[in-house]
Copies of this chain bind each other. A is one copy, B any other.
Amino acid sequence: MTAEIVSVGTELLLGQIVDTHAPTMARILADCGIACTHRQTVGDNLPRAVAALNDALRRADVVITIGGLGPTQDDLTREAIAEALGDTLESVPEELEKLRKLFALRKFHWVETNARQAMKPTSGRMIDNPNGTAPGLICEKDGKVVIALPGPRNEFDPMAGGAVREFLCRLEGGQVIHSRILRICGMGESLVEEKIRPLMEGLNPTVAPYAHPGEVHLRITARAASREIADRMIEPVEQKIRAILGDHVYGADTTSLEEAIIDILRERDQNVSVAESITGGLLGSRLTSVAGSGDAFLGGVISYAVSVKEAVLGVPHEVLERFGPVSPECAEEMALAAKRITGSDYAVSLTGNAGPTSDADGKPVGLVYIAVASPRGVTVEEVGLGGSRDDIRTRAAFTALTNLRSELLSVGV
């Protein structure tokens, strides 16, 4: 079975945005054992989109479109699919009702063109889109399948990885390709690879490392007749990796580092607070991205200005005066202060210079101090981080999470 992806959008053709959805879709197809043999990109132009779909339908069994499902005049993927399949468009009353209710709820102004999003080709059915107004489409006709996905990332990702992935994997019947990802922190990619090299020589399951900012993912992939059999093949390989890498494996599959930390804290009925300077709230934002984090994260202080470090957090004036805000002494005081004023069991602080230039005290770009206060005391780490302002802040937050987890595991219950 072969598939072809058609990305729709003039902004793609003009090179104004980079197409990252098509690669995501291609990886999902590969996971489902379907070969993607061709990709096309067309603009918001009906005859060209129809011609591209006709070419794709001639070459492939499954055609997947991305983008052009919105409410405006230049969103015409729905029309193009209907024309290419020889269908007409029909309105789905329940969808229209749902749309109108959504607009009313959010107090958005209703414009009649929105009704187009409740239309579907006659041979199609809709895929629910809980994150936006345009549903996706699955059309089956004359032995061909056309699937339409919306363009906005927060709508595309869950739909592609959810309902569409499930549908595609069922299409290919027989074999499934199933993966498990082990997530590793506090160890670089080459060291991980060195430690598990013998396991990387297996053919089924395969083991492959992927570097991510601040962490490494190991993907264990098995090909088998069913998901259950694949799981049973993956299991012993996972156990070997865990035995080799120990506590560096912080989670599996979609577990994030902040989730792993919130889980530990909730289990122990303990909590954490933050005092953030360089990251300006990024660490708190990551911790609170976890549903249920309210049981384990109290909050803290964004002490970006020196005045807030002193007045709100209570860092002693002498410390700021003598060592400066970017110093191990200040980081330590910040963590202790956050723990004290929030009454938390643990506290993490960050202070540093994210650039783009050296700060007033001449501290270099990328220098960051991270302190962790715990029931047994306080530790400070100095790190030198590279990259853009954004990179430095992201890596600083990741290192803070890694250090907090490490302290949690050391202290124990």
Contact = CB atoms under 8 A, between A and B. Distances in A.
Interface of A: 10-20, 22-27, 29-30, 36-45, 48, 52, 55, 70-74, 102, 105-109, 111, 113-114, 130-132, 152, 154, 158, 177, 179, 188-191, 193-194, 200, 208-213, 219, 221, 271, 273-274, 276-285, 287-289, 291, 293-294, 297-305, 307-308, 311-312, 341-343, 355-356, 383-391, 393
B37 A43 contact: yes
14 contacts: A13-B26, A13-B36, A15-B25, A18-B20, A37-B43, A40-B40, A71-B190, A109-B191, A131-B391, A276-B281, A281-B283, A298-B308, A305-B342, A311-B341
Contact of A14 (B36, B45, B132, B341): B36
A300 B302 contact: yes
Contacts of A390: 154, 289
Contact of A304 (B18, B297, B393): B297
A304 B312 contact: no
Contacts of A30: 14-15
- How many copies of the polypeptide does the oligomer hold? 2
A interface majority secondary structure: mixed
A169 to B, nearest CB: 16
A38 B27 contact: no
Contact of A213 (B23, B154, B388): B154
A42 B302 CA distance: 45
A292 to B, nearest CB: 9
Given A70-B189, A113-B190, A158-B388, A299 B305 contact: yes
Nearest to A212: B152
A325 to B, nearest CB: 10
Nearest to A295: B305
B299 A288 contact: no
A152 to B, nearest CB: 7
A193 B72 CA distance: 7
A388 B114 CA distance: 22
Contact of A391 (B26, B52, B154): B154
Contact of A281 (B74, B191, B302, B343): B302
Nearest to A342: B308
A91 B372 CA distance: 42
